[in-house]
């Protein structure tokens, strides 16, 4: 973690990565929950980089965690629950924006955006 992110990403969040679909298109489920460090906010000022994307932004999580993908689930706080769909407050990641690490060039920053 960069020294700047060390003081700004101080909140714990839980992320469940989607494992994909089987040959019939059914979900293979989610990975075990992982704790990541981030900051978060409920502002709707995040820019949408894809044309045609229409949803109401619920939360934006800023982090250096680079492995998140659309369809993963994220929760503000910590959880050991295996299924994010059964966790109150866990939301699907709908969009991801990547930002350069302008100062130290050690790890890019990401905005993980959830929707309603």
User: Which DSSP category does 33 fall into?
Assistant: P
* Residues 6 or more apart in contact with residue 83 via CB below 8 angstroms: 29, 30
- pLDDT, one tens digit per residue, over 17-73 is 999 989 998 889 999 999 999 999 875 554 555 545 566 778 999 999 999 999 999
Q: Cα(11)–Cα(1) distance, rounded to whole angstroms?
A: 14
Examine the pLDDT at 112 and tell me if it is beyond 50: yes
pLDDT confidence of residue 101: 80
- pLDDT, one tens digit per residue, over 4-21 is 656 678 899 999 999 998
Region 3-115: CATH code: 2.40.10
| The total number of residues written for the chain in this structure | 116
Examine the pLDDT at 95 and tell me if it is beyond 70: yes
- Residue identified by tokens 């973690």 is 1
The structural domains of the chain, with segments of one domain joined by +, span: 3-115
User: Which DSSP category does 8 fall into?
Assistant: H
Cα dihedral across residues 55, 57, 62, 67: positive or negative: negative
HSE of 56 in the Cβ direction (CA atoms, 13 Å)? 2
Examine the pLDDT at 1 and tell me if it is beyond 80: no
Cβ–Cβ under 8 Å, residues 114 and 91:
yes
User: Which DSSP category does 102 fall into?
Assistant: T
Query: pTM for this structure?
Result: 0.84
Please tell me which residue, 1 or 35, carries the higher pLDDT value.
Answer: 35
């Amino acid at each position: 973690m960069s020294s700047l992110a060390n003081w700004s990403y101080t909140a714990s969040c839980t992320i469940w990565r989607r494992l994909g679909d089987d040959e019939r298109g059914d979900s293979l489920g989610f990975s075990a929950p992982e704790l990541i460090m981030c900051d978060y906010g409920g502002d709707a000022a995040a820019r949408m980089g894809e044309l045609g994307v229409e949803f109401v932004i619920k939360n934006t999580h800023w982090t250096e965690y680079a492995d998140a993908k659309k369809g993963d689930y994220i929760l503000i706080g910590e959880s050991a629950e295996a299924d994010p769909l059964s966790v109150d407050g866990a939301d699907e990641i709908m969009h991801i924006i990547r930002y350069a690490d302008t100062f130290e060039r050690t790890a890019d920053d990401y905005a993980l955006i959830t929707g309603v």
